[in-house]
Structure formats: structure tokens, C-alpha cells
Structure 1
């Protein structure tokens, strides 16, 4: 009986040592993977990497990780030559094939998502325009609200307003609901469903250019294609998926 207790104690101790070694190994692997992703994706900061599954060492022996979650910062969107911060970019990677040194990592399949706040969307908008939450019913349709002083929007498009016309437009604000969509290349498009009639003829197209604009999100692995956008009170969330996503190597 005493011998059985001793064997049980030894098994528990060895199991604890294995768990400790396994966790140390996974921490080292997460750090090395994060560095590789940073260099291969040319990121400004090191991403957070979380390797799922236990035990980790048996996954390494099989050279395939069940799941790896990556959270990125320092990612930008560009619009009209301006860079805008993307609040959050995440990727959930499955069946990640690796080599022994973690110098190469390819995910069999992956889901990615990015989120941009309305404040940052406004920074990317044409001069004079502000992007905001459109309410639950409009948001359910993938719409946002774009507003701005009419004179500022037109002048932002290079329209020179005579003093008399500027005085006529003083205090007038444009408010439009824009549908957000993704085109074939993954760029984000904001398009107003309708615009108010202007008191001065001939400026309709200029106003349309001031309200409609495109965004391109950089930093997402190129093989993850964004294909869905949803609106909420916090901002816009973009998501997509891909296969054979190369993270490093």
C-alpha cells in the first residue's frame, strides 16, 4: 500500500513537471511566433499570440498546432492618402503547420476581423464630414450617419464659394445615411443612399464626393479576404476568412 502511495506521488510530481515544461515551451513558442509575424507582415508593434491546446509538446512533435489566436495593434486604414488607426485586428488560425524552429507557419484555415471606431472613421473621411452611429435599425442594414456643415464639405472638395453663396449656406448642415460595403478587392466603401437638395444648383456631384469615400485596411494577412461588415454603437466590424494563410516563412 505504501509503495502504491509512493508511485502515486511520483506520478503527480512528474505530471506537474511535464505541465510546467509544457507551459514554458508554449510561452517561448508564442514569443518566437509573434516576432515572426511582426517581421513577415511588417507590423509596427509585436502582436499578442495565444497557442491553444494541451499538451503543446505533442502538437510540436506532430508539427501542427490545433489553434493559434493572434491580436494585432499598429494596423492602419488608408483613405485619400491619410492613415487611420484600426482599433483592433484579430485572427483565429486553425491547423497551423510549423517546422521545428517556428521559422515557418501556415494555417490551413483562418478567420480574421478588424474594428474601426467612428472617431477614426471620421479622421479618414473627407474634410468637413463626421461619421457616427445611425441607430439600431439603420445599423442592422449596415448603415452609418455622415454629417457636416454644407459649406465645409464643399470647400473640402476644392469648391471656391463666393461670399454671397457662403452666407446663404451658413448654418446649413448635411445629414445622410451611408451604406457600408466591401468591394471585390476587400476595400471598404461608404455610399450615401440619398442626399438633400441643395439651395445652390451645380454642386450636387461635389457634395456626393464629399460624403462618399473608400477605406483600405492594411496589416491583415493577404490571404484573409474581408467579406462582411457590421455596424454597432462602437464602430464598424469587418470580418473574413481564408485558407493556407502564411504567417511566417
Structure 2
């Protein structure tokens, strides 16, 4: 009986060893597939980044080299399908090549969804990479905006969800501190209108001339701010003040995010 027990135990141990080996082999194969998937995604990201760089140049915009990330997993199934869930692109120091007075965007984050791109297009660089929807978000720093207004001592910021201004002003021989907020309107051709219609100054002399001078100052800093030409046919839809700066939101539909081959 003891001998039979030994014979029964050995096959069981060998079976467990085979099972453990199969599990380890499966894990190794899965790991290799994940690595291969990420390597392929990296190759595609570099190819798209190069084409985006050419596209930015063709649209008369300038920026640092784009950073591209292809979303969705697994990547290889998206390659076979020719459709990608999401491609995110980050551009830094976006500025127009023609508008010398335009403010620059320190960063422009572009989120492209439902992107169509054949394997041949990614490999050869010929053909279009078309995004069904493209959304762009960027922030204009208050320092760069204040520099454009060119008023000594003027500072801008966010207050209660509005663009707030503080500036020293000489009125009738008195040095006063002017405060107030601006109305922001998005205009055509990539301009943002700032209108400072509600300025006040503590200690303002109660005479019509003092109020006239204050209104003249408000008109002087009420300007149309030219934005840089945005790539990917992005059109500005909204500009709103945030603590870190003016947040710019833009979008477009059915546009190429690469250079046309």
C-alpha cells in the first residue's frame, strides 16, 4: 500500500509542475506582447510627432517639437483597424509667425478623438491622419498680457471668475490705485476683446474731469488681444480667467493633424 501511495504522489507533483510552468510561460508571453505593443505605440508616436511638426509649420504657426501620446490599449488592434481612440499632442511656446504682437501660449494641449490613420500612412508619412474631433486648451499668462497692455505697474489676475486689474494712475496730481474688472469677448480671426468698463479708484476727486481721466485710462487698456494662429484649424470658442491665467478653449472637426502627403 505504501508503494502505491508513492506512485500516486509522483504524477500529482509532476502535474503541478507542468501547470506552474504553463502559467509562467503565459505570463512571459503576455509581458512580451505588452512590451511589443508599447514599442509599436512609441514608433507611431514619433511618426505622428514628425508629421504634426510639419503641419504646424504649414499653418504659419510656430512651437517647440510636439509631444505625442497614443491612447487606448491594446495599440496593435487599433493599427489593424486603422482607427485610434485618442491621440494627445502637447505643443509648447505656440506663437504666430506673422503676428509679431500676438501673445504666445506657453502650452497648447490638443486632444484628438476617433483618429483615422492607415498603417501605410504611419509607415511612409504619406496620406492624411484625420481626427473626427479636436479640442485644444491653453493658458495665456497674466504677465504676458500685462506686457501687451504696456502700462507701468499694471497687474492682472482672476477675481470672482472675472479678469481683474490693479494699476497706479496719476489723476489731477494724485497717485491713486485703480481697480476693476473686464468683460471678455471672443472675436473672429483669433482675437479676444478686453473691455474695462468698471474701474474705480479710492480717493478719486469728486469732479467730472477726474472721472473723465479714469474713463480714458479704461479705454486705453481696453484692447483686442491677437492670439497666435492655432494649428489643426482650431477655432477659439471660449476664454475665461483662471488663477493661473486666461484659459483658452478651441475646437475643430474632421481635420488633418498631420502634413498632407
TM-score, normalised via structure 2 length: 0.75
C-alpha displacement of 1:81: 4.3
Larger Cα-atom Rg:
2
Deviates more, 1:207-216 or 1:230-239: 207-216
For residue 97 of structure 1, the aligned residue among 106, 116, 126 is: 116
SS of residue in 2 equivalent to 1:90: strand
Q: Which residue of 1 aligns with 2:180?
A: 176
Cα distance in 1 for partners of 2:182, 2:145 equals 13
Q: Which residue of 2 aligns with 1:191?
A: 195
C-alpha displacement of 1:51: 0.9
TM-score, normalised via structure 1 length: 0.78
C-alpha displacement of 1:129: 6.9
Q: Which residue of 1 aligns with 2:133?
A: 109
The 1:77/1:236 distance shift into structure 2, 3 A limit, reads farther
Cα distance in 1 for partners of 2:217, 2:96 equals 23
Q: Which residue of 2 aligns with 1:27?
A: 42
Q: Which residue of 1 aligns with 2:167?
A: 148
The superposition leaves residues 195-238 of structure 1 with CA deviations (integer Å, 9 ceiling, x where unpaired) of 56873697678534421112232253343222122212211111
For residue 132 of structure 1, the aligned residue among 156, 173, 176 is: 156
Establish whether residue 233 from structure 1 lines up as the match of residue 243 from structure 2: yes
C-alpha displacement of 1:84: 3.1
C-alpha displacement of 1:107: 0.8
Cα distance in 2 for partners of 1:245, 1:60 equals 20
Deviates more, 1:200-209 or 1:101-110: 200-209
C-alpha displacement of 1:9: 3.0
C-alpha displacement of 1:243: 0.9
SS of residue in 1 equivalent to 2:29: helix
SS of residue in 1 equivalent to 2:209: coil
Establish whether residue 244 from structure 1 lines up as the match of residue 259 from structure 2: no
Residues 221, 245 of structure 1: 8 Å contact kept: no
The 1:36/1:169 distance shift into structure 2, 3 A limit, reads farther
Q: Which residue of 1 aligns with 2:54?
A: 39
Q: Which residue of 2 aligns with 1:156?
A: none
Q: CA RMSD in A?
A: 2.9
Establish whether residue 86 from structure 1 lines up as the match of residue 86 from structure 2: no
Residues 190, 229 of structure 2: 8 Å contact kept: no
Q: Which residue of 2 aligns with 1:218?
A: 228
The superposition leaves residues 113-168 of structure 1 with CA deviations (integer Å, 9 ceiling, x where unpaired) of 111121121122244473412422xx2xxx212343446xxxxxxxxxxxxxx9x4
